[in-house]
Amino acid sequence: MSNTTRDPVHEPEFAHEPAGHGYITDKSKYLNRLKRIEGQARGVHKMIEDEKYCIDILTQISALTSALQVVAVGLLDDHLKHCVLNAARAGGDEADIKIKEATDAIARLVRS
């Protein structure tokens, strides 16, 4: 007999659904986007090193912030469609926990 417990929130309802976190099917898309964001951040760093015009730097920071928000909203969407939905299907305390986590994440995004 195994000592592991079942985690119905992270187990797929159907055998053909991917296991794991909701973003896993778009993992390469997120990683590529984050590589571009890293490049943008290095560009801002270089602009400051090169003493570029303040407004130009702020414009690039704004673009960097927008790019991060796109990633955050995408991850939130995946979380709602996968983790929260599976928890809601399972019901109970886990559903309440996942909904609270999502609500808190939305609140943080709105404040940022």
Domain extents for the chain?
Answer: 28-111
Counted residue by residue, the chain has a size of 112
Positions of the chain with pLDDT under 50: 1-18
State residue 89's pLDDT score.
92
Residue range 28-111 forms a domain whose CATH class is mainly alpha
CA 24 to chain centre: 11
State residue 54's pLDDT score.
97
H-type alpha helices, 1-112: 27-49, 54-79, 85-90, 92-111
Angle made by CA atoms 15, 88, 12, in degrees to the nearest 5? 10
State residue 25's pLDDT score.
80
State residue 45's pLDDT score.
98
Amino acid symbol at 93: D
- In tens, the pLDDT along 15-37 reads 334 457 777 788 999 999 999 99
- Separation of alpha carbons 65 and 62, rounded Å: 5
State residue 23's pLDDT score.
75
Q: What is the pTM of this model?
A: 0.73
